[in-house]
Structure 1
Amino acid sequence: MTVPKLYYFSIRGYGEYIRLLLIDNGIKFEDIRFPWQSNEWAELKKTMKFGQVPCYKVDGQEIVQAGAIMRHLGRVHKLNGSNEQEATFLDMLFDAIRDVRLKYIRYVYFDEGSREDMVNKTLPESLERLECQFEIHPGDFIIGNKLSYTDYILFEELDIYHVLDGKILDKFPALKAFWERMWQRPNLKPYLEKRTKDNVWISAVEKGMN
């Protein structure tokens, strides 16, 4: 098996879920990053089947769409639950979390709503629902004590919202405890600390950063 290549911009964005999964599970990969709207991206885009990123290339296969890449990695690396019921639950929660991210994206990129609405209403309403779903399977992760590919999107989204407001997780103890545990994972912690130190942008615009 060749070393996989992950192509994405030099921000966190949708590529970060994939990076976190690969790093945490000790999967070697080339983390190919390039500036937003750069000439490098303009040229690279011409060579790709769908002209979009994140793009994950492995063994001659080119996979795009963050969800497709994450589900592929979940199947290949046994991070997709232990049965069909768990796999379906993970798929459902993954898409639900992506829906919350779209609300954040509309705020960041399109000035939809205010920061106050996002922090005090929009995100808390969504986090309350996610808290209820997280508690269905008691344990450290979404499906109990078995790590899954969906844990990485949940962690990254919680971390983003914590950057937006440092107290936003306080009313959701299960999610906050999960976020804190993920931060301490030995493969993730050095990467996360460096990411914070380097002030890697969450999005292509600085809005929403500390």
Structure 2
Amino acid sequence: MTVPQLYYFTIRGFAEYIRLLFLDNDIKFEDIRYEYGGKEWEEVKKTMIFGQMPCLKDGKQEIAQTGAIMRHLGRKHGLNGSSEEDATFLDMFFEGVRDVRMKYVRFIYMDAETREDIVNKTLPDCLEKLEKLFKIHSGDFIIGNKPSYADYILFEELDAYHHLDAHILDKFPALKKFWEMMWQRPNLKAYLEKRKADGVWINAIEKGMK
């Protein structure tokens, strides 16, 4: 059986959702990382579908775009809910979290707003909506007691926002409980602790890291 190959930079970025999904579900994969802005990547990007990463090579298929990769893995590994209704809800949740991520990205890379605004207004407003959505279904995860592909983007984003402010999740008990639970997942814990100890950057710049 061919081991899937994940291509991305040496940061967490958008590929971290994919890495976490593989690790948590004990799926073997090759984690190929390039230095951001390095010469090696400048050559490799010429071979990529859109000239960007993440890129997943799974058997004979090359897949670009984060959402497409995550949904592919969700379908392939039974992480897409158990019905069309579940799949649609997860799709909506995933896209909602991606929208929040883009607000965070604009703060990190473009100084679109102040740290005070992003921590005290923008992110809390978004987290309030995600908290309500998360509580629609009972259980430890977005849907019930089995993880889905969308749980990995949610966890990684909550972890990134926690780097900005250690108390940002305090007003959102369901999300905070989920974030704490994910940190203790047997297949993730050692990786997350090493990632933290190594100070792996979330973004291509260090802004927002503790």
TM over 0.5: yes
Q: How many residue pairs get matched?
A: 210
Tell me how far apart the structure 2 counterparts of residues 59 and 168 of structure 1 sit (CA, whole Å): 41
Structure 2 residue aligned with 1:9: 9
Structure 2 residue aligned with 1:83: 83
Cα offset, 1:56, TM superposition: 0.2
Tell me how far apart the structure 1 counterparts of residues 32 and 98 of structure 2 sit (CA, whole Å): 23
Cα offset, 1:133, TM superposition: 0.2
Which amino acid in the other structure matches residue 178 of structure 1? Answer: F
Cα offset, 1:49, TM superposition: 2.2
Residue 158 of structure 1: SS of its match in structure 2?
A: helix
Cα offset, 1:191, TM superposition: 0.4
Q: Deviations over 1:71-117 (max 9, x none)?
A: 00000000000000000000000000000000000000000100000
Stretches (4+) displaced over 6 A? none
Tell me how far apart the structure 1 counterparts of residues 192 and 121 of structure 2 sit (CA, whole Å): 28
TM-score (norm 1): 0.99
Tell me how far apart the structure 2 counterparts of residues 51 and 116 of structure 1 sit (CA, whole Å): 35
Which amino acid in the other structure matches residue 133 of structure 2? Answer: Q
Cα offset, 1:209, TM superposition: 0.6
Structure 2 residue aligned with 1:104: 104
Cα offset, 1:47, TM superposition: 1.5
Structure 1 residue aligned with 2:29: 29
Cα offset, 1:46, TM superposition: 1.2
Which amino acid in the other structure matches residue 46 of structure 2? Answer: K
Structure 2 residue aligned with 1:165: 165
Which amino acid in the other structure matches residue 92 of structure 2? Answer: M
TM-score (norm 2): 0.99
Structure 1 residue aligned with 2:19: 19
Residues 1:130 and 2:130 are matched in the alignment: yes
Tell me how far apart the structure 2 counterparts of residues 50 and 175 of structure 1 sit (CA, whole Å): 34
Structure 1 residue aligned with 2:197: 197
Tell me how far apart the structure 2 counterparts of residues 186 and 165 of structure 1 sit (CA, whole Å): 26
Residues 1:146 and 2:177 are matched in the alignment: no
Tell me how far apart the structure 1 counterparts of residues 186 and 164 of structure 2 sit (CA, whole Å): 25
Structure 2 residue aligned with 1:69: 69
Which ranges in structure 1 are unaligned for 5 or more consecutive residues? Answer: none
Residue 141 of structure 2: SS of its match in structure 1?
A: coil
45-54 vs 24-33, greater mean Cα deviation: 45-54
Residue 122 of structure 1: SS of its match in structure 2?
A: helix
Tell me how far apart the structure 2 counterparts of residues 100 and 19 of structure 1 sit (CA, whole Å): 20
Aligned Cα root-mean-square deviation (Å)? 0.6
Which ranges in structure 2 are unaligned for 5 or more consecutive residues? Answer: none
Tell me how far apart the structure 2 counterparts of residues 38 and 194 of structure 1 sit (CA, whole Å): 24
Structure 2 residue aligned with 1:156: 156
Identity among equivalent positions (%) equals 70
Residue 31 of structure 1: SS of its match in structure 2?
A: strand
